[in-house]
Amino acid sequence: MKQIELLAPAKNLETGMAAINYGADAVYIGAPKFGARAAVGNTLEDIGKLIKYAHRYWAKVFITMNTILYDNELKEAEKLIHDLYKLGADALIVQDMGILEMDLPPIELHASTQTHNFDLERIQFLEKVGFKRIILARELSLEQIKEIRANTSVDLEYFVNGALCVCLSGQCYFSHATTGRSANRGECSQACRMKYDLQDENGNVLAKDKHLLSLKDLNLSNEISDIVDTGICSLKIEGRLKDISYIKNITSYYRKELDSVFEKKREFTKASSGTIDPKFDPDLDRTFNRGYTSYFFTGRIPEIANFHTPKSLGKEIGKIVSIRKDHFIIDTKYDIHNGDGLCFFNKNKLLKGILVNGVKGKQIFPNEMSMLVEGATLYRNNDHEFAKTLKRDNSIRRISVDFYLEFTNDTLTLFATDEDGISASVQLQQDFELARNRDMAISNLQKQLVKSGGSIYSISNIEDNFTDVPFVQAKQLNELRRNVLDRLTEIRIEAFQKTENQDLISHPQYPTKNLTYMGNVVNCKAEEFYHKCGVEKIEKGFELQSNYTGKTIMTTKHCLRHEFGMCKKEVNTDAKPNTPLYLVDNKNRYKLEFHCQRCEMKIVLE
């Protein structure tokens, strides 16, 4: 059977352990430095603890070091990689090709989505370089993924849920150009979530104060079966900045969906051990989301962005039927609770929020009445009761174990065999008194041994070969059980086989002789790598330049011509495809160029 991995994000040790407990086969977490979320670096100590916890379940831990590196950081980064390898990290996620010219341990390397893994030619190049896995661009469609899979043998990873970068990953310079904070250095200022006016070449305003670049969140939960069939080996959830409640809910939801697919497609199975048992029904709509889209998975679709707000909407729950003096009447099938946060769009399409102070049937008493709009659709972006349930739930993922008791020559042996066929045994030797009531003694033994307590195991079955039944004190049985499960854990970790990447990185011919600033080369080792691959001319990376005028600062498949019904391919319009539009904020005007053959929009700094 082919193993399919569910890969979840981890902001820190706590969320990483939660991701494992709620169904992740692997987690990805930021190194102390050089991760694409600079705000969530983690200590080596915490990373080591997470690795040990994950490996008990045969789950993996991938470390993100996917920023570009400056020359003065190369030695520090190299040492850090060796430290992570010694801790047992299962893979390193990288963007900077300079890392490949370091003295690396034989750690598995994954090509970050920041290397913009969109074109087949690019992906084939990275495979020849020696990457074990390539994290595909979010913009790819099902058919494009199939083509890539048919022409490569490298492991492929694909995003299925979470926030979407509107720019092609690794190709966004908007933040650095306007604030000095580089997205390729993990410091993105999220210019895409800001408000802009859209103007034509004559200055006519086509849209005013809209979040024109703010995409909805990705949700491919209805496409899991097709994704698995393409040959994708890892389904990735975005969210290294998200809190533990989000991780519990989203991870358990996708665990449930994947397991449902495996029940129908017996050729696939999960990539780690154990079973989850959350005490809640996971629901994607009930935690942070900006509204959902399938993006380009099934081809170009309308309304992949939410022009009105970049904030969380949550779950649509009903409508405001009528407004009274101190309350309003809601038409809904859901229970509303004190403390719920509700939101709606007013007549000007601005998102407004209210807090529920009281509920009497369909009567809702909010903290604010003046903003309400009769007939408005209501969303619940803070589900108070669900949030409390998620916070209280501390489920531990359990590995199924069978016990077998054997008693011979004053020696009681307890054997433990887990769901993966891993076995351990411990013995207790003494002069045992034989039990007078055989059936009662066996029942007492089983009742004591089935209590797996706070361990990661659940005891599924207990068998014995008793002729005579020894009388064993409860504390002795507890110690026997603890010892055999501790030994089983040690053997499980020893049996967990890490696959190591090839020792040497190769240098295949790069597809072009010239590399622009979009190659993100900002250190001498990256230059060395590309020169070895036949690149003759390398432009300095954007972060090393000082004049950005005329530079493309964003390339995106999100096309505002398409969104506003001006796509030459789809409607009969007199507008020329290459006629520019402009984004305008309170500081700058940005030229929009449309490359219709590739269905791309570029933002150019004037």
Residues 114 and 234 in one domain: yes
The mean pLDDT of the chain is 94
Q: Which of the four pLDDT bands, split at 50, 70 and 90, describes residue 40? A: confident
Q: In Å, what is the CA distance from 336 to each residue of 120, 288, 316?
A: 50, 18, 12
Residues 100 and 126 in one domain: yes
Q: Which residue range forms the structural domain that includes residue 96?
A: 2-164+216-286
Number of domains, the chain: 4
Domain end point (choices 463, 495, 527): 495
Q: Which of the four pLDDT bands, split at 50, 70 and 90, describes residue 503? A: low
Identify whether 523 is part of a domain: no
Residues 335 and 456 in one domain: no
Identify whether 280 is part of a domain: yes
pLDDT of residue 504: 73
Coil vs helix vs strand at 405: strand
Coil vs helix vs strand at 476: helix
Domain end point (choices 286, 307, 339): 286
Percent of the chain with pLDDT over 90: 84
Residues 85 and 175 in one domain: no
Residues 142 and 224 in one domain: yes
Q: Averaged over 256-276, what is the pLDDT?
A: 97
| Neighbouring C-alpha atoms within 13 Å toward the C-beta of 123 | 24
Describe the strand order of the beta sheet including 600-605 as a list of residue ranges: 205-210, 196-199, 581-584, 589-595, 600-605, 552-556
Q: Which of the four pLDDT bands, split at 50, 70 and 90, describes residue 261? A: very high
pLDDT at 454 over 60: yes
Identify whether 46 is part of a domain: yes
pLDDT of residue 220: 98
Of 381, 388, 429, nearest to 406 by C-alpha is 429
CA distance 67 to 456: 36
Q: Averaged over 58-69, what is the pLDDT?
A: 97
Identify whether 117 is part of a domain: yes
Percent of the chain with pLDDT over 70: 98
Residues 129 and 239 in one domain: yes
Residues 111 and 21 in one domain: yes
Residues 329 and 466 in one domain: no
Is the entire prediction scored with pTM above 0.85?
Answer: yes
Of 300, 138, 140, 144, nearest to 217 by C-alpha is 138
pLDDT at 416 over 70: yes
Of 146, 342, 332, 305, nearest to 226 by C-alpha is 146
The model's pLDDT over 297-336, given as tens digits with 9 standing for 90+, comes to 999 998 999 999 999 999 999 999 999 999 999 999 999 9
CA distance 322 to 453: 53
SS3 per residue for 75-105: HHHHHHHHHHHHHCCCEEEECCHHHHHCCCC
Identify whether 352 is part of a domain: yes
Residues 159 and 200 in one domain: no
Which token pair is 361?
A: 């049937």
Identify whether 430 is part of a domain: yes
CA distance 45 to 267: 38
Of 317, 343, 315, nearest to 331 by C-alpha is 317
pLDDT of residue 575: 55
Residues 14 and 77 in one domain: yes
* Contact indicator for 47, 278 with CB cutoff of 8 Å: no
Residues 408 and 280 in one domain: no
Q: Which of the four pLDDT bands, split at 50, 70 and 90, describes residue 174? A: very high
pLDDT at 512 over 70: yes
The model's pLDDT over 526-571, given as tens digits with 9 standing for 90+, comes to 999 999 999 999 999 999 999 999 999 999 999 999 999 888 776 6
* Contact indicator for 483, 477 with CB cutoff of 8 Å: no
pLDDT at 259 over 90: yes
| Neighbouring C-alpha atoms within 13 Å toward the C-beta of 30 | 21
pLDDT at 212 over 60: yes
Of 583, 458, 604, nearest to 199 by C-alpha is 583
Q: Averaged over 278-294, what is the pLDDT?
A: 96
Residues 109 and 122 in one domain: yes
Coil vs helix vs strand at 249: helix
